[in-house]
Amino acid sequence: MSTPVIELSGVAKRFGGVVAVRHVDLALFPGEVHALLGENGAGKSTLVNMLAGIHRPDAGAIIVDGAEVTIPNPRTSRALGISVVHQHPVTFPDLTVTENIMLAGPAPRRRTRLLDWGTARRHAREALARLDVHLDISAEVKHLSAADQQLLEIAKALDTGTRLLVLDEPTAALSTREVDRLMEIIARLKADGVSILFVGHRLNEVFALADRVSVSRDGATVVTGPAHEFTPESAVGHMVGRSVETAFPKAEVELGPARLEVRGLSRRGAYTDVSFTVRRGEILGLAGLVGAGRTEIARGLFGLEPADSGEIVLDGAAVSIGSPQQAMRHGVAYVPEDRHSEGVVLEHSIGFNLPLALLERRPRLGLLSPQADRALAGDYIDRLRIRTSGPDQLLGALSGGNQQKVVIAKWLATDPSVLILDDPTKGIDVGAKAEVHQLISGMAERGLTIILISNELEELLAVSDRVITFYRGAQGPEFDRRPFDAEQVLAAMTGQVSDVHV
Amino acid sequence: MSTSDTRTAPAPALPESRRRIHREAGLGVVLVVLVALFATLTPRFATGDTFAQIGTDLSIVLIVAVGQALVLFTRNIDVSVGSTVGLTAYLAASLTAAVPGLPLVLTVLVACLLGAALGAVNGALVATLKVPSIMVTLGTLYIFRGINSALAGSSQITAQNLPDSYSAIATGTVLGIPLMFLYALAVAGLAHLVIRHTFTGRAMLAVGSDPASAERTGIASKRLVFGAYTVTGLLCGLAGVLWGARYGTVDSSVATGFELVVLAAVVVGGVRITGGVGTVGGVVLGAAILSVISTGLALADVSPFWLQAIQGLVIILAITFDLVLRRRLESRGVST
């Protein structure tokens, strides 16, 4: 093999007393896709930030073209040919697409040092065209969807001087179609001799792409080798240091009577004529691409954006749900997609967060009782096996998986009979995922009616009793026999079949 | 799954042809409506003299408001501007009184440098201490005012102590347009150029829009914040000289409470208090709207006791009107 584009040798980084990266060796060669796997907390993001010039290593060396370099800031990193797509988009919501692309690189200037807007707009159009995405370049970024923001992020990173492209879990917010496009682009860049470091934990993507795989655990690379020497199971084994199931096997549950029935539910611009029935103890999966209307249906059922027409029937009686308060009174709970902005307050403790959804029915003499809150928190910490130092720990200090458990616990505390989960394992570890699946399965066993939305088809098919597909707001084929045929479900949710005989 | 199908599928939402209007359009409408309203209420309003008066009145506010806008863009605030204007006004006037032969250009230069130094103190504290800027500048508000009081005591510099040329800076006109207004427009024009057409200007908005992203993009946030405060100080220095020149009397209480007038102009002008959003054009309109309201109400014989309350009410109405107009347009797919 030729000489590496970039080599990390014995790199280490600590923050205060916490060792984020203990010892990482990594060589990235031209024209290779190198996958870096690891659980949250394995030091992946710190590593990415060192390449991006955001953190500087305390020990070890970063070697570019055989010479040791220091990367004091992100601009130096770019100048060295390193482009980083961070896990969370690094965007300026109030500025336009053009401006966001312009601010990422050397800005085009006229001889007067004033900005050359014409060239800036051309650059922006070219950057988007390279990725084959269509965005209004003069739109403010806050008006773009999460997926478009992620695409913008990738477009920003792809300029002609890129020698190493670092993708930190780039597909989290993307739909299948966009992931496919990204894969094509990666293949093209690879052919051009660009080195690609793909950081992630969606294993099927990784194995479709990677030439080599490195696994990091507790801040150190534990194994590096050609991709074909790994299986998903062995990779996960290295990540967690033991062998685990990637998905918890679903328990067989005796289904009860119909609990929730939806008839002809429509909301303009979101979904039309949606009808289904869910029984007690049943897990109904809603499959579809991002933007297929699944989240909107969930929000409709929870009264956040009530449907324009149609009927919601609970236990045989038609109800009207015009606000979350009404939904909660009817026993409907909704765990939103974005736990950071809609689910919980990270700056507060578990004991503060857990009873948040209860506020309406609980006050005694109008006063809250901190003791009761802590007891409630303690109870759920045990039941859901939330790993924490106790009810007083701040939520922000927990791992993603444990934060998600707190969000679910918050809604379980309202004692719902219908629980809607919107992408409940987004951005959490493989190990924690299996635990959330187990939790969902256990809730169904106790008779809860569950509606599950997930952008990971694999997860949806593993956990659900029944799957309904949606394509651009229209209800598509339904699959009610396990095990599901992933190919058929995928075809239905990408609108390539109007009717499937199952 | 065939890829050709997914390729031909139209991408959802392709708003390249979206209609656009300027963010300032709503404010422009508000200004025109107010002028028309006052013109019908009193014949004394729609005269050249009144407009010249309004132009002069808004100048000092606008000069400082432009600086304040820069600071707000970066998600910071400067509540010490009133004290900075006061201190520089006193120092500039004392200098002129003490050294009668001093060329005016030098006086202005010294005042600007003094102001810039005071602004730099704010900037350095905010950028390095990571203390919220409102606390830092509340502190310097009292410190600068305190220094002013200590130096001035109960003394007063009046027009008699100052050469005629000093007041000429403020009272002169060119083609009937007050000089003061021209200074303010020049300042605003320059600021517009920097904000709209330089990397530095766009980067300031970027810092305020998302500080963490700015850091990850390698934008020199601290330098920009420091710069915004220093420029604000400099503009306060200029405003200080103009204050002395315009009103002829300078004591230790000059421009007390002025920071609120400036903030009102900036906020009415559509600059977001939490950073990242705003234009210099909006600030110009904001300052003009405030000035039209106060002059118009005074001419319309509103009782001086009720003047402030009504002024506040009109400001709220004006902002609400602008926001409602903008939201309506946005809901119809017009981006602003």
Smallest CA–CA distance, residue B160 to chain A, in Å, is: 46
Mean pLDDT of A431-456: 86
What is the CB neighbour count within 10 angstroms for residue A132? 14
Nearest CA in chain A to B271: A94
Convert the pLDDT of each residue in A122-147 to its tens digit. Answer: 989 988 887 778 888 888 898 887 77
The predicted pLDDT at position A409 comes to: 85
Query: How far is the C-alpha of A117 from the C-alpha of A110, rounded, in Å?
Result: 9
Residue that has been written with the tokens 């210099």 in this structure: B280
The pLDDT of residue B335 is 54
Element (H, E) at A466: strand A466-471
Chain A positions touching B15 (Cβ under 8 A) are 136, 139
Q: Please name which of A116, A113, A86, A89 lies closest in space to residue A100, comparing C-alpha atoms.
A: A89
Average pLDDT over residues A103-130: 86
How much is the pLDDT for B147? 95
Q: Which of A92, A111, A148 to mutate to test the interface with B (most CBs of B within 10 A)?
A: A92
Q: pLDDT band at residue B12, thresholds of 50, 70 and 90? A: very low
**SS3 assignment, position A232:** helix
Q: By C-alpha distance, which of B53, B92, B27, B46 is closest to B181?
A: B53
Mean pLDDT to the nearest integer, B162-168: 81
| Predicted confidence (pLDDT) per residue in A355-388, tens digit | 777 755 555 566 667 777 788 888 888 877 787 7
Which residues, in sequence order, are bridge partners of residue A196?
A33, A165
Summarize pLDDT for A190-202 with one digit per residue, the tens.
Answer: 888 889 998 876 6
Q: How far apart are CA A425 and CA A436, in angstroms?
A: 7
Residue A164: in which H helix or E strand, if any? strand A164-168
Taking residues A238-242, report their average pLDDT.
69
Task: Identify the pLDDT of residue B6.
Answer: 37
* Set of chain A residues whose Cβ sits within 8 Å of the Cβ of B16: 134, 136
The arithmetic mean of pLDDT across residues A291-316, rounded, is 90
Q: Are the C-beta atoms of A99 and A124 separated by less than 8 Å?
A: no
First to last CA, chain A: 50
Say whether A20 sits in a helix, a strand or coil. strand
Beta bridge partners of A14: A19
What values do phi and psi take at A367, rounded to 5?
Answer: -115, 145
Q: Per the CB < 8 Å rule, is A104 touching B16? A: no
Question: What is residue B16's predicted lDDT score, i.e. its pLDDT?
Answer: 39
Instruction: Give residue-wise pLDDT tens across range B168-181.
Output: 888 888 888 888 99
**Angular region, B185: left φ>0, alpha ψ -120 to 50, beta rest:** alpha
How many beta-carbon pairs below 8 A join chains A and B?
96
Half-sphere exposure of A104 (CA within 13 A, CB side): 28
Alpha-carbon distance of B130 to B136, in angstroms, equals: 10
- Rounded to the nearest integer, the mean pLDDT of chain B is 86
User: What is the distance between the alpha carbons of residues B216 and B218, in angstroms, rounded to a whole number?
Assistant: 5
**C-alpha to C-alpha distance for A74 and A85, rounded to whole angstroms:** 12
- What is the predicted pLDDT for the residue at B2? 38
Q: Look-up: residue for tokens 């990173």? A: A157
Rounded-to-integer distance, Cα A290 and Cα B111, Å: 59
pLDDT tens column, B274-333: 888 899 999 999 999 999 998 898 888 888 888 888 888 888 887 787 778 777 776 665
Residue A384: the pLDDT is 79
Beta carbons of A92 and B197 less than 8 Å apart: no
Give B240's pLDDT tier (boundaries 50, 70, 90): very high
The torsion angles phi and psi of A217, rounded to 5 degrees, stand at -145, 135
Is A92's CB within 8 Å of B205's CB? yes
* pLDDT tier at A298, thresholds 50, 70, 90: very high
Q: What is the pLDDT of residue A297?
A: 93
- E runs forming strands in B18-101: none
Phi, psi of B269 (to 5 degrees): -75, 5
Tell whether the model's pLDDT for residue A399 goes beyond 60.
yes
Question: Collapsing DSSP states into helix, strand and coil, what is residue A64?
Answer: strand
Decide if B86 contacts B140 (C-beta within 8 A). Answer: no
Cβ–Cβ < 8 Å for A259, A313: no
CB A19 within 8 A of CB A12: yes
Q: Residue type at A278?
A: V
Q: How far is A141 from chain B (nearest CA, A)?
A: 11
Both structure tokens of B193: 């150029």
CB A314 within 8 A of CB A294: no
Decide: helix, strand or coil at residue A52.
Answer: coil
User: How many whole angstroms separate alpha carbon B249 and alpha carbon B157?
Assistant: 6
SS3 A191: helix
DSSP H/E element including B93: helix B81-98
In this predicted structure, the answer to whether residue A403 has a pLDDT above a threshold of 70 is yes
Chain B residue with CA closest to A175: the answer is B6
Please name the helix (run of DSSP H) or strand (run of DSSP E) that holds residue A371, with its range, or none.
helix A370-383
Residues of A in contact with B197 (CB under 8 A): 114-115, 117
pLDDT at B221 exceeding the cut of 80 = yes
Count CB atoms within 10 A of the CB of residue B276.
23
Residues A62, A51: contact at Cβ < 8 Å?
yes
Interface contact flag, A103 B15, Cβ < 8 Å: no
pLDDT tens digits along A251-292? 777 888 999 999 999 998 889 999 999 999 999 999 987 778
Q: Are A369 and A359 in contact (CB under 8 A)?
A: no
Tokens representing A141 are 């970024």
pLDDT tier at A500, thresholds 50, 70, 90: very low
**pLDDT of the residue at B80:** 95
**CB-CB under 8 Å, B197 with A138:** no
| Mean pLDDT, residues A334-353 taken together | 74
**A494 closest CB neighbour out of B1, B15, B208:** B1
CB B213 to CB A91 under 8 A?
Answer: yes
**Chain A residues within 8 A of B206 when measuring between CB atoms:** 92, 95, 99, 103
User: What pLDDT score was predicted for residue B11?
Assistant: 39
Cα–Cα distance between A228 and B176 in angstroms, integer? 83
Percent of chain A beyond pLDDT 70? 89
Which of the four CATH numbers 3.30.70, 2.40.30, 1.10.3470, 3.40.50 does domain B54-318 have?
Answer: 1.10.3470
Which tokens go with A475? 């209800």
Contact residues, chain B, for A180 at CB < 8 Å: 3, 6
- The pLDDT of B192-196, averaged and rounded, is 93
Q: Which residues of chain A have a CB within 8 Å of the CB of B276?
A: 92-95
Locus of tokens 């995922």: A433
- What's residue B155's pLDDT? 84
Residue A229: strand, helix, or coil = helix
Q: Which residue has the tokens 């200037």?
A: A109
Q: For residue B21, what pLDDT is reported?
A: 60
Assess whether pLDDT exceeds 50 at residue A498: no
Nearest CB neighbour to B197, from listed A115, A133, A143: A115
Mean pLDDT of A398-424: 84
Q: Can you tell me the distance from the alpha carbon of B82 to that of B62, in angstroms, rounded to the nearest whole number?
A: 13
**Cα B300 to Cα B296: distance, rounded to the nearest angstrom:** 6
Cβ–Cβ below 8 Å for A92 and B206: yes
Whole-angstrom distance, CA of residue B268 vs CA of residue A233: 60
Taking the CA of residue B205 and the nearest CA in chain A, the distance in Å comes to: 8
Q: How far apart are CA A398 and CA A432, in angstroms?
A: 12
Say if the Cβ atoms of A291 and B12 lie within 8 Å.
yes
Judged by CB atoms closer than 8 Å, whether chains meet at A90 and B15 is answered as no
Q: For chain B, which residues lie within 8 Å of any Cβ of chain A, measuring from their own Cβ?
A: 1-3, 5-6, 9, 11-16, 18, 20, 193, 197-199, 202-203, 205-206, 208-210, 212-219, 272, 276-277, 335
Whether residue B9 and residue A99 make contact (CB cut-off 8 A), yes or no, is no
Instruction: Give the residue among A492, A493, A420, A498 at the shortest CA–CA distance from A455.
Output: A493
Query: Rounded to an integer, what distance in angstroms lies between the CA atom of residue A181 and that of residue A184?
Result: 5
pLDDT at B63: 97
CB contact under 8 A, A95 and B213: no
- Predicted local confidence at residue B1, as pLDDT: 37
For residue B162, the Cα-to-chain-centroid distance in whole angstroms is 28
Phi, psi of B155 (to 5 degrees): -75, 165
Per-residue exposure over B123-149, b if at least 16 CB sit within 10 Å of its own CB, e if not: bbbbbeeeeebeebbeebbeebbebbb
Closest chain B residue to A184, measured at CA: B3
CA B51 – CA B39 distance, rounded (Å): 11
Q: What is the predicted pLDDT for the residue at A458?
A: 78
> What's the pLDDT score for residue A106?
78
At A114, is the secondary structure helix, strand, or coil? coil
**In angstroms, what separates the C-alpha of A57 from chain B's closest C-alpha?**
16
Stretch among A149-153, A494-498, B27-31 having the lowest mean pLDDT: A494-498
pLDDT at A449 over 70: yes
Distance from CA of A132 to the nearest CA of B (A): 10
| Helices and strands of chain A, counted as H and E runs | 16, 20
Q: How far apart are CA A128 and CA A28, in angstroms?
A: 26
pLDDT at B130: 79
d(CA A72, CA A47): 14
How far off is chain B from A244, nearest CA to CA, in Å?
Answer: 31
pLDDT digits (tens, 9 = 90+) for A160-178: 778 899 988 776 666 667 7
The answer to whether A414 and A383 have CB atoms below 8 angstroms apart is no
Span A5-29, average pLDDT: 85
Q: What is the dihedral of CA A20, A391, A419, A294, to 10 degrees?
A: -30
CA distance B89 to A438: 72
Average pLDDT, integer, range B62-74: 96
Q: Which domains does chain A have, with CATH numbers?
A: 6-240 (3.40.50.300), 258-347+415-493 (3.40.50.300)
d(CA A206, CA A38): 12
Distance from CA of A177 to the nearest CA of B (A): 7
Confidence of residue B117 (pLDDT cuts 50, 70, 90): very high
Residue B277 and residue B206: Cα distance in Å, rounded? 9
Q: What residues have CB less than 8 Å from A9, skipping those under 6 apart? A: A25, A60, A61, A62, A63
Which ranges constitute the DSSP H helices of A172-323?
176-191, 203-209, 232-240, 294-301
- Measured from the Cβ of residue B186, the count of other Cβ atoms closer than 10 Å reads 11
> Alpha-carbon torsion A344, A349, A352, A354, what sign?
positive
* Mean pLDDT computed over B115-137: 93
Q: Looking at the predicted structure, is the pLDDT value of residue B67 above 80?
A: yes
Mean pLDDT across chain A, nearest whole number? 83
3-state secondary structure of B5: helix
Q: What confidence score (pLDDT) does residue B137 get?
A: 95
- Calculate mean pLDDT across residues B43-67: 91
The pLDDT assigned to B18 comes to: 44
- To test the contact with chain B by mutation, choose from A78, A94, A143 the residue with the greatest count of B C-beta atoms within 10 A, namely A94
pLDDT at residue B13, rounded to an integer: 38
Percent share of chain B, pLDDT over 90: 47
